[in-house]
Structure formats: structure tokens, C-alpha cells
Amino acid sequence: MRKNIWIDTDPGIDDAIAISAAFAAGERLKIIGISTVAGNQTIDIVTDNALWLTELLGQSEVPVVRGADRPLIRAPHPAGNVHGEHGLGYVVPPKAARTLTSDQGAAAIYKAVMELPEGETITLVPIGPLTNIALLLRTFPDVSARIDQIVCMGGSAVEGNITATAEYNIWTDPEAAEIVFQSGIPIVMCGLDVTMKCLLRQEEIRQLEHAGEIQKQFSRMLQFYFDSAAYRGKGAVAMHDSVPFLYLLREEMFSGEHHVIHVSCTEDTCRGMTIVCDGAYTYQQKGEPKNVYVLKDVDAAWFGRELMERLMCYS
């Protein structure tokens, strides 16, 4: 049985790799649509990237929806230092021939979910800041009944990657993340605890480079990471955004723990921290559901093999 999924994304190098892997798993995942959100780059850039990528992968019939152009409260904080000026490393995508859907924003996601055949549900897979998902849940609360789970990339129960305490996607829009984590919907948090173990090595990027035209584009995106200050001299890079999709393919390869998660929305060094609040905190309401499954570990060798196999599928 194929699982209906909706991808919310800010492509972004690892977003593009993850979306490509997800399309290559069409026997298990049915991608109903893709929405974009300001994050790694501006909303214009990430939306153009999503249109170009779906065209490159031969998936132009999948709707692409332009989402929020900024976080709920804060100004956007693009990550051009990690993803490049155009968001996709050394790839400068030409303008796509395909266009956006006529409906935009959270309303478009709502419509697509509610139009699913009766009895069907959807898994939301957000791999950028959670702005669109918070707007969706707050504006159209009845949508929750059609969402079976949210499997997101974001957060960390260990340390951060944008600040000492916070992971980039959550830090970019912590208010949105708090709304989503407090929605009561079952959530799988693919945070840095597990994503930092999910790697592609420099040798694998070289393999991609010589495999085919589409793989060459992947390698030109990924090489940018290795040349960036964050990864220079390292032999492997974390494929954060692929984790939710590979989790959906084989949950048994991962392990984790159920927790109550709150997001720090303060304006200090803890902003954007995902805090495990299972009872040790006085402000915690008794009986809050442990609706967040925090992934902790993975069969890392399987992850690398599976991701490469999916990326090699394209000819």
C-alpha cells in the first residue's frame, strides 16, 4: 500500500537530494504535492528550485505550492553559506517551463488534503521551517483528522547546529514549531540526534558524478557542502532531510523514544531549542501526551546504501 505524503520544503541541497530519493521510492510513497517555505533561501529562490527539480526528475505533474515568505514572527534567515547563493550549491537552475498551482499557501495544502478520497489520510513531511504547517493547523483545524502523522526534520535533544542549543529549521521559526509540536498530532522528530549519523561520503559523491546526467547534478550540489567552511576537510556530510523519507521506508532501521517536546520561544541563547519536558519541568501541564517520537539511532550503513540506491535509480 502506498503512503500519501505531502512534502514541505526549502530546497536547499539536502532537500533536493531527499525529494529525489522520495520520488525514487514511488512504489511506497505517493507524493500528493510539495509546498515551499522561506528557509535556506528566499521564497522565490526555493520555489524556483522546487519547480526545476520536479521537472528534472520527470515529475512535473506533481503540484508545487508557494508557501510562506517569512517566519511567523521573525525575519527570514537564509543559509546561503551552506546551500549557496541559488540554494543548490554549484547548480544554477534554469527557469523551469512548468508553473505553480493556481492555489497558494496553507489553503492549497488544505484543499489538496481534503480532496483525498474518503477514508484516506496523509503524512506531512516538513523538511524546512514549520511556518506553513503551523498556519495550516491554526487556520484549518479540521485538517488534523486527515493527518495520520508528521515526520519532520528538525530539532535536537543534544546540541544545535545554528546556535549551541538550536537546530536551524526550528530556530528559524520556533513559534511555528511550538504550535506544531503542541498540536497533539503524532510526530516523528528526525533531529540532529539521528541525522548527524546519516551520511554520504566523498567517494559516494564521486560515484554520483560519473553515473548519469541527473546524478551529476546531485554531485554538483553536494560538492558545495564539502567545499563550505562547515564541512571542509571532512570526509562525509549529513543528509538531514533524507532521514524522514528513509524512516517512512523502513521504520525498523531506526530507534527512538516518546517525549513531550516544547520549543523555546525566548529571545536568548535558548531560542529554538527543542526541550524534552516529560515531567521534570514545573510549567508542564500534567498529562500532556508524549506525542513526539524522537529518533535517536539508525543503522547508518543501511542508510547510506539505501540513499545511494535511490539516487542511482534515475537514468
Task: Spot the catalytic one: 240, 258, 259, 262.
Answer: 240
Residues 146-205 that bind ligand BDR (CB under 6 A): 153, 161, 167-169
Residue 79 interacts, among ligand BDR, Ca ion, none and using kind-specific CB cut-offs from 5 to 8 Å, with: ligand BDR
89-118 positions binding ligand BDR, by CB under 6 A: none
Question: Does the annotation count 259 as an active-site position?
Answer: no
Q: Does 310 bind ligand BDR (CB under 6 A)?
A: no
Using the minimum distance from each CB to Ca ion, give the nearer residue, 15 or 167. 15
Q: How far is the CB of 225 from Ca ion (least distance, A)?
A: 13
When the beta carbons of 15 and 193 are compared against ligand BDR, the nearer one is: 15
Q: Cβ of residue 240: shortest distance to ligand BDR, in angstroms?
A: 4
- Which residues contribute to the site for Ca ion (CB under 5 A)? 10, 12, 15, 127-128, 241
Pick from 178, 121, 136: which is nearest to 154 by CA?
178
Q: How far is the CB of 280 from ligand BDR (least distance, A)?
A: 26
Q: Which of 240, 259, 271, 310 binds ligand BDR (CB under 6 A)?
A: 240
Comparing every residue's Cβ against ligand BDR, the nearest one is 168
Exactly one of 8, 14, 204, 306 binds ligand BDR (CB under 6 A); that residue is 14
In angstroms, what is the minimal distance from the CB of 60 to Ca ion? 22
Which chain residues interact with ligand BDR by CB under 6 A? 12, 14-15, 40, 79, 82, 127-128, 153, 161, 167-169, 240-241
> Catalytic residue numbers?
240
